Amino acid sequence: MTNVEVELAGATIPADRLVLVSLISANRDEREFPDPDRFDIHRPSNPQLAFTTGIHYCLGAHLARLEAKIALNAILDRYTDLTFTGMQWYESYSLCNPKRLTFEVRRP
């Protein structure tokens, strides 16, 4: 809640208003990435906000990275050719991640 009227980035927020700070588009910022909605595992500059740092560091970050590494290695060991064909996003104001990634695959 704002205690007094505040100006932020050119917008006036009246006193006694609830303010929601959201980072849902931070890793898809069009000012940072040329094609922010395109899935690109090789994106060169990606200062991730998903797991953050400091006192708010996600306790499950190491486990999530290990699970992703194991899953990706299993997929890459199993299939010789993967072609990314699409992505669906969750429709939400509080969640910003893919709901479904689709690929065409070929086994060895």
- Report which residue type is found at 17: R
Q: Which residue has the higher pLDDT, 23 or 86?
A: 86
Tens digits of residue pLDDT in 46-89: 666 665 667 767 788 889 899 999 999 999 888 888 899 999 88
- pLDDT at residue 63 in the model: 92
The pTM assigned to this predicted structure is 0.47
Side-chain half-sphere of 85: how many Cα atoms within 13 Å? 7
Could you give the percent of the chain with pLDDT greater than 70? Answer: 81
pLDDT score of 66: 95
Given a contact cutoff of 8 angstroms between Cβ atoms, the answer to whether 77 and 105 are in contact is: no
For 55, the 3-state DSSP assignment is helix
Higher pLDDT, 26 or 58: 58
Contact present, 107 and 80 (Cβ < 8 Å): yes
Mean pLDDT of 3-23: 87
CB of 1 closer than 8 Å to CB of 19: yes
- For residue 98, the cross-strand partners are 89
Enumerate the domain spans of the chain. Answer: 6-106
Average pLDDT in the chain: 82
